[in-house]
Amino acid sequence: MRSLTKLVFALVVLPLVAIIVVLAVIGLIFRIVFTLLPIIIVAFVIYMIYKKFTQATVKAGSFDDAIRAKSQEIKQETQVVMGARGYLRRIDALKAVIRDASLRAKITNLTNKANDIIAKVRENPKHIGSVTTFMDYYLPATVKILERYADIERNNLTSAEAARLKERVPGFLDDICSSFSRQLEALYNDEILDASAEMEALKTTLATDGLLAGNDFKI
């Protein structure tokens, strides 16, 4: 009889007790989870809000940096253009008082080239770095030379030094104008290279998208 009782206890009671314990533990876990679920949800929502806010802050910072960079670029462009135009106004004023017609024609040719360079800089401010010498040396140097020439004419100076300077100024203007032409050509060539690079990039994209076969567009 004892053996039967032990057998029943081992086969029925112990497994039943084990099941009850497991169910009790599972129930306890579910109660804990359901109790903590609102806290978990709130914590998750707060985390997502914080993540979105951080991303937005980073984007806003990048946008602000881009705005500041563009503002600085515009400010630099404005300063360069205004400075160059100031020198050109002075050159035009000097041309008006210079009596030599051939010299005035050379000055006109020079200022036309200079205005073309300034127009290129305004179209594409990236050229500013390429025209530093033009803006900071050639234009002010031209103003100084023409001021001396105008002084010689106005005061009818006849010294050897005055005669030598008057003789050299036309050649000087030719050299300056040639340098302006080379500067302008370099700016155009730079833009041509940019256009070529963009065209190659476009062709690569079209080929990748299956819109280009050989040299024929499928658009």
pLDDT digits (tens, 9 = 90+) for 102-126: 999 999 999 999 999 888 888 887 7
pLDDT-derived band at 17, boundaries 50, 70, 90: low
Note whether residue 134 is domain-resident: yes
Containing structural domain, residue 130: 79-209
In a domain, 69, yes or no: no
- Mean residue pLDDT of the chain comes to 78
- What's the number of domains the chain is made of? 1
35 falls within a domain: no
pLDDT band at 218 (very low <50, low <70, confident <90, very high): very low
CATH number of the domain at 205, please. 1.20.5
With CA atoms as reference, report the closest residue to 173 among 90, 83, 109: 109
Position with higher pLDDT, 132 vs 171: 171
Stated pTM of the model? 0.58
Residue 10 included in any domain: no
Going by C-beta distance under 8 Å and a sequence separation of 6 or more, which residues neighbour residue 72? none
For residue range 33-74, list pLDDT tens digits in order. 677 667 777 777 787 887 777 776 666 555 555 555 555 656
Q: How many angstroms separate the CA atoms of 218 and 208, rounded?
A: 12
